[in-house]
Chain A
Amino acid sequence: EAGVVQSPRYKIIEKKQPVAFWCNPISGHNTLYWYLQNLGQGPELLIRYENEEAVDDSQLPKDRFSAERLKGVDSTLKIQPAELGDSAVYLCASSLEGGEGHYEQYFGPGTRLTVT
């Protein structure tokens, strides 16, 4: 079974430039998550989708971050414009079911963003 796929793996951009990350979840997983992981810290949730609906985006900085999950499968996370403090690893994860279930989340390898 293929795991969660993310691209690119690494991205270096100058501040004020836009950047986009792509995630393809495990086939059949209806719930998709985007996390931010700063160096030396644990992942923090940015947004959670159940199918194509964003059910939790309370931690997404909406002035510069946006996300979409068209057709409830793959997803794109965008930053525009990027700031120096956005340098981090962006992780995507997927699971079988949201709501009250406690289903294991499967993580992709992440995209390491460096803003110069």
Chain B
Amino acid sequence: AQSVTQLDSHVSVSEGTPVLLRCNYSSSYSPSLFWYVQHPNKGLQLLLKYTSAATLVKGINGFEAEFKKSETSFHLTKPSAHMSDAAEYFCVVSESNDMRFGAGTRLTVKP
């Protein structure tokens, strides 16, 4: 079965500096990969998705992720962090509509 590992449980950055949230996946097939964000007391919101098209995927709010099959990675990046980016981020791998979530990475943004 597919699985995903988020390498950092907590990432802290200063406002205006780059963000890197790391995700490795395991899948027997060609998976779909997603990043979701969860703000406190809010529902999960899709940031971006990879479904076997372009390997560099652009999402909302300036986030992007690159699918690297050789490294089985799908890291999330943003050039410049904003205070509103502080939230929990989940990497998700999907096979045949069966989605498996990572444990999450809490992003803290310092002023």
Q: Would you call B43 and A103 a contact (CB within 8 A)?
A: no
Secondary structure of the A side of the interface? loop
Q: Would you call A109 and B43 a contact (CB within 8 A)?
A: yes
- Is A105's beta carbon under 8 Å from chain B? yes
Q: Would you call B101 and A104 a contact (CB within 8 A)?
A: no
Using known A-B contacts A40-B104, A41-B103, A41-B104, determine if residue A102 contacts B97 with beta carbons closer than 8 Å. Answer: yes
CA distance A93 to B97 in the complex (A): 12
B71-108 contact mask (Cβ, 8 Å, vs A): 1 or 0 = 00000000000000000001010101111011110000
A86-105 contact mask (Cβ, 8 Å, vs B): 1 or 0 = 00000101010011111111
Q: Would you call B42 and A102 a contact (CB within 8 A)?
A: no
Q: Would you call B96 and A104 a contact (CB within 8 A)?
A: no
Question: When A and B form their complex, which 7 residue pairs have the shortest distance between CB atoms, in order from nearest?
Answer: A42-B101, A102-B32, A107-B44, A107-B43, A109-B43, A98-B97, A102-B51
Q: What are 15 A-B pairs with beta-carbon distances under 8 A?
A: A40-B103, A42-B90, A42-B102, A43-B90, A45-B98, A48-B98, A93-B44, A99-B97, A100-B96, A101-B97, A102-B94, A104-B49, A105-B99, A106-B46, A109-B41
Binding site for A on B (CB under 8 A): 32, 34, 36, 41-46, 49, 51, 90, 92, 94, 96-99, 101-104
